[in-house]
Structure 1
Amino acid sequence: MAIQRMDNVAIVVEDLDAAIAFFAELGMELEGRMEIEGAFADLAVGLDGIKSEIAMMRIPDAPGRLELTKYNAPQAIAASPPVPNTIGLHRVMFAVDDIDDTIARLRPHGAELLGPEVAQYENSYRLCYLRGPAGIIVALAEEIG
């Protein structure tokens, strides 16, 4: 028995439209949007009375999807935004063509660099972490070498 693929990473957000706009600006495409509720959802997730809306975002012409989820019931629980050394999901990283342009396009959507500037690793990559929707950490990498 073998794993077939990693299907997606899910992110719970408060403002689904804003999260869709953020990841669309990054270059992802909205694959679909739907409401989720019922016994199957309650059983799969382990919560009672689920009413949520999801948006599946995909990377054009490449594997990789994000499921953005807004819980209407039960109400989503807000926690402090994670920092890079928080135990659990660390970050989601995207390879981009132009890191400076990407940051500039994401800033109007609330993106903030976690460090003072973009870092450079030798002559290979420029990298940064930034805060994205729902406080998640989004990493960007631009290959330069």
Structure 2
Amino acid sequence: MAIQRMDNVLIVVDDLDAAIAFFVELGMELEGRALIEGRWAEQAERVIGLNGVRQEVAMLRIPGGVGGIELAMFHTPKAISAEPKDAPANTLGIRRVMFAVDDIEDVIARLRPHGAELVGTLEQYEDSYRLCYVRGPEGIIVGLAQQLR
């Protein structure tokens, strides 16, 4: 039996609107947004192992692709922070999500008004790629890669 696809990555946030705006500016499409409570929350509680769940979720997809980001903002129980929002790239756990882009400088410029800052520098690896990490809302690290060949 083989894996069919990676469907999405969950990112828990405090400001859902800011996170949605950031990923939409990056080029993702908002597929849907919903408040999870009542019967749906009871099912979610059994899946995620939490009680008293009330959350708002947003699904974003890569246009024409299958991968996506699920953003969740927990009203109850309140989200907890396991690490500082400025955690470095070598902190244990999931550190970043990487996207291939057409024009890396344009993407950086469009993300800056949404709070994005370069983590390090924009680098070029020979004639192959231009790469950088940007830190967006909630301290989310997004890798950007522009293929040159």
- The code of the aligned residue for 2:11 comes to I
Give the secondary structure class of the aligned counterpart of 1:21: helix
Q: 1:86 aligns with which of 83, 91, 104?
A: 91
Q: Deviations over 1:43-63 (max 9, x none)?
A: 111111110000000011112
Give the secondary structure class of the aligned counterpart of 2:106: helix
CA positional deviation for 1:133: 2.2
Structure 1 runs of 4+ aligned residues shifted over 4 Å read none
Residues 16-95 of structure 1 aligned to structure 2 (within 5 Å): 16-37=16-37, 38-78=41-81, 79-81=83-85, 82-95=87-100
Length-normalised TM-score, structure 2: 0.93
Q: Tell me the percent identity.
A: 63
Residues 97-112 of structure 1 aligned to structure 2 (within 5 Å): 97-112=102-117
Q: Deviations over 1:37-78 (max 9, x none)?
A: 322111111111110000000011112100010000000113
Structure 1: how far apart are the matches of 2:144 and 2:71? 19
Q: Which runs of 5+ in 1 are unaligned?
A: none
Structure 2: how far apart are the matches of 1:89 and 1:100? 25
The aligned residue for residue 2 of structure 2 is 2
The aligned residue for residue 128 of structure 2 is 124
